[in-house]
């Protein structure tokens, strides 16, 4: 039975990969509609033929890796369950110490290490592709350092979550999901609070913006948007990537306005001000808090469904998946598998909400800066530097895009100009 399940799971994954390849490289249409040819959304107006070709190639490969990575994670969790690897990790942990927290730490270390090793090939392929297409500028040692930092940061966060979660499972046999949901709210807010000042500096060095004239212009925008900020931070990302980015993150007094040095190098001051106005819009329109509210609703139902599914699966298939009870540590891959699948299933909805908020932010930025041309050229440069498709296939947009497509953003700007003229 185990061999049959493992064979079917691997075969299913390979067939899915074949379907995705055929869809992305043969069937999907990413060409620009004829009605938009010659407009600001037409790649031919801001890219040369080679850049257009590279953007199509790079986007197709990255999209394929995206769609392969999540099911690959599901396959990994499924196989270590049915092959008894997770049960072996739990026995190892119980044989190491009697203390429950130490047992959790040991079990989670081996599970995290196995996951890291299993997923590493896909991560490395993604890194090499980004290097080949000149998106990433990291050498291997620097990239590996970030990967190892990721491992330990995620391990520490997961240790806290798993220790609390499985403690609740033991204490509240049927209602653990509700207690876990209630505790997830302050934990999420706490993580958002410490992200800018504790976690982000582990990966990059942040320092005040050197261009004080530009900083003053940005702070003037921030003051107009009523964002409590005394400094604009610059981060040295050029040693890692050629991509462009800027953001406002954190909550309360820990809010930070951040610009990548690549953005400073490749965008004009007017374009930077538009990008920053867009990021400030998320703060002004309370998108962070709306996101938290949506997360609360989705996580409530997600944890409820996960608890019901775990109980049913363990009750009916505990011998097959080598899990004695829901509250045993060996059930963690099952929990991660189910929550990952539920998150993927709801991603079209969450991405739709995100795209709506991003459109609102675009409009806010135009109104604040009153510079539509800077908006258009900034989007064109973002697309060009990132080698992103202007009009990605529909499945890519639905499952991957938390932002409107570049075609949608640029056409919106042109239509906004027409509305203003009328």
For 126-144, how does the pLDDT look when each residue is reduced to its tens digit (9 = 90+)? 999 999 999 999 999 999 9
Burial grade of 38 (CB within 10 A; 0-12, 13-18, 19 or more) = exposed
CA distances to 90, 329, 351 from 340, in Å: 22, 18, 16
Bridge partner residues of 257 (DSSP): 232, 248
The answer to whether residue 304 is domain-embedded is yes
pLDDT above 90 coverage of the chain, percent: 63
- 278 in a labelled binding site: yes
Q: Answer whether residue 422 shows pLDDT above 80.
A: no
- 403 in a labelled binding site: no
If pLDDT is split at 50, 70 and 90, which confidence band does 2 have? Answer: confident
The string over 135-166, giving b where at least 16 C-beta atoms fall within 10 Å of a residue's C-beta and e elsewhere, is bbbbeeeebeeeeeeeeeeebeebbeebbbbb
Q: Are 386 and 243 in contact (CB under 8 A)?
A: yes
The answer to whether residue 294 is domain-embedded is yes
- What's the domain count of the chain? 1
The answer to whether residue 398 is domain-embedded is yes
Torsions phi, psi of 207, nearest 5? -150, 155
- The residue among 188 and 307 whose pLDDT is bigger is 307
- The residue among 224 and 306 whose pLDDT is bigger is 306
If pLDDT is split at 50, 70 and 90, which confidence band does 247 have? Answer: confident
If pLDDT is split at 50, 70 and 90, which confidence band does 233 have? Answer: confident
The answer to whether residue 269 is domain-embedded is no
pLDDT, one tens digit per residue, over 324-370 is 899 999 999 999 999 999 999 999 999 999 999 999 999 999 998 88
pLDDT at res. 198: 82
- The residue among 247 and 171 whose pLDDT is bigger is 171
Q: Which residue, among 154, 158, 131, has the nearest Cα to 143 in the 3D structure?
A: 131
Element holding 291 (H helix, E strand): helix 287-321
Which residue in this structure is represented by tokens 């504790």?
198
Q: Which residue, among 360, 402, 409, has the nearest Cα to 383 in the 3D structure?
A: 409
Q: Residues 319, 362, 367, 422: which is the catalytic one?
A: 362
Q: Answer whether residue 405 shows pLDDT above 60.
A: yes
Q: Answer whether residue 228 shows pLDDT above 90.
A: no
Distance of CA 101 to the CA centre of its chain: 29
Tokens of 42: 């037409």
The string over 353-375, giving b where at least 16 C-beta atoms fall within 10 Å of a residue's C-beta and e elsewhere, is ebbebbebbbbbbbebbebbebb
pTM here? Answer: 0.89
279 in active site: yes
Which residues span the domain enclosing 95? 2-202+286-421
pLDDT, one tens digit per residue, over 145-154 is 999 999 999 9
pLDDT at res. 253: 59
Query: Sign of torsion, CA 97 102 105 109?
Result: negative
pLDDT, one tens digit per residue, over 58-79 is 999 999 999 999 999 999 999 9
Q: Are 264 and 211 in contact (CB under 8 A)?
A: yes
For residues 173-185, give the mean pLDDT.
91
Q: Which long-range contacts (CB under 8 A, 24 or more apart) does 2-6 make?
A: 2/82, 2/83, 2/320, 5/78, 5/82, 5/320, 6/79, 6/82, 6/83
Q: Residues 90, 279, 319, 420: which is the catalytic one?
A: 279
Angle, vertex CA 70, rays to CA 19 and CA 57, nearest 5: 55
Number of residues written out for the chain:
422
The whole-angstrom separation of Cα 257 and Cα 260 is 10
For residues 218-235, give the mean pLDDT.
82
211 in active site: no
pLDDT, one tens digit per residue, over 255-270 is 678 889 899 999 999 9
The answer to whether residue 397 is domain-embedded is yes
pLDDT at res. 421: 47
For β-strands 246-249 and 232-235, DSSP reports them as unpaired
Q: Which residue, among 281, 285, 286, 276, has the nearest Cα to 216 in the 3D structure?
A: 276
Q: Which residue, among 394, 418, 329, has the nearest Cα to 28 in the 3D structure?
A: 394
The answer to whether residue 146 is domain-embedded is yes
The answer to whether residue 352 is domain-embedded is yes
The whole-angstrom separation of Cα 146 and Cα 226 is 35
The whole-angstrom separation of Cα 320 and Cα 288 is 42
The answer to whether residue 222 is domain-embedded is no
The whole-angstrom separation of Cα 28 and Cα 22 is 8
Q: Chain-wide mean pLDDT for the chain?
A: 90
């Amino acid at each position: 039975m185990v061999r049959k399940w493992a064979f079917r799971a691997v075969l299913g994954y390979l067939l899915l990969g074949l379907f995705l390849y055929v869809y992305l490289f043969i069937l999907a249409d990413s060409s620009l509609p004829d009605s938009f040819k010659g407009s600001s959304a037409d790649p031919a107006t801001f890219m040369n033929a080679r850049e257009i070709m590279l953007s199509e190639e790079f986007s197709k490969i990255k999209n394929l890796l995206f769609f392969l990575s999540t099911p690959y994670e599901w396959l990994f969790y499924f196989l270590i369950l049915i092959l008894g690897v997770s049960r072996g990790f739990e026995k190892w942990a119980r044989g190491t110490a009697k203390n429950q927290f130490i047992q959790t730490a040991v079990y989670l270390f081996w599970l995290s290490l196995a996951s890291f090793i299993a997923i590493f090939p896909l991560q490395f392929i993604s890194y090499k592709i980004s290097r080949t297409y000149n998106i990433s500028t990291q050498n291997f040692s620097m990239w590996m350092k970030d990967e190892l930092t990721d491992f330990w940061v995620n391990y520490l966060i997961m240790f806290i979550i798993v220790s609390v979660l499985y403690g609740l499972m033991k204490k509240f046999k049927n209602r653990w999901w509700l207690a876990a949901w209630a505790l997830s709210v302050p934990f999420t807010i706490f993580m958002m609070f410490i992200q800018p000042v504790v976690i982000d500096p582990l990966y990059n060095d942040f320092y005040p913006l050197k261009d004080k004239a530009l900083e003053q212009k940005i702070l003037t925008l921030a003051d107009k948007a009523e964002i409590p900020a005394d400094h604009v931070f610059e981060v040295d990302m050029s040693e890692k990537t050629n991509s462009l980015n800027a953001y406002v993150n954190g909550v309360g007094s820990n809010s930070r306005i951040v610009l990548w040095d690549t953005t400073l190098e490749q965008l004009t001051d007017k374009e930077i001000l538009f990008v920053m106005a867009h990021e400030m819009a998320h703060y002004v329109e309370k998108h962070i808090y709306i996101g938290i509210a949506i997360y609360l609703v989705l996580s409530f139902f997600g944890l409820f469904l996960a608890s019901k599914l775990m109980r049913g699966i363990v009750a009916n298939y505990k011998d097959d998946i080598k899990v004695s009870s829901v509250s045993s540590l060996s059930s963690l891959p099952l929990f991660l598998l189910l929550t990952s699948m539920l998150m993927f299933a709801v991603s079209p909805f969450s991405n739709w909400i995100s795209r709506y908020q991003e459109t609102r932010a675009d409009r806010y930025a135009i109104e604040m800066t009153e510079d539509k041309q800077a908006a258009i050229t900034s989007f064109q440069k973002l697309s060009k530097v990132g080698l992103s498709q202007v009009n990605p296939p529909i499945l890519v947009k639905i499952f991957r895009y938390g932002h409107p497509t570049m075609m949608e953003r640029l056409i919106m700007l042109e239509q906004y100009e027409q509305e203003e003229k009328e």
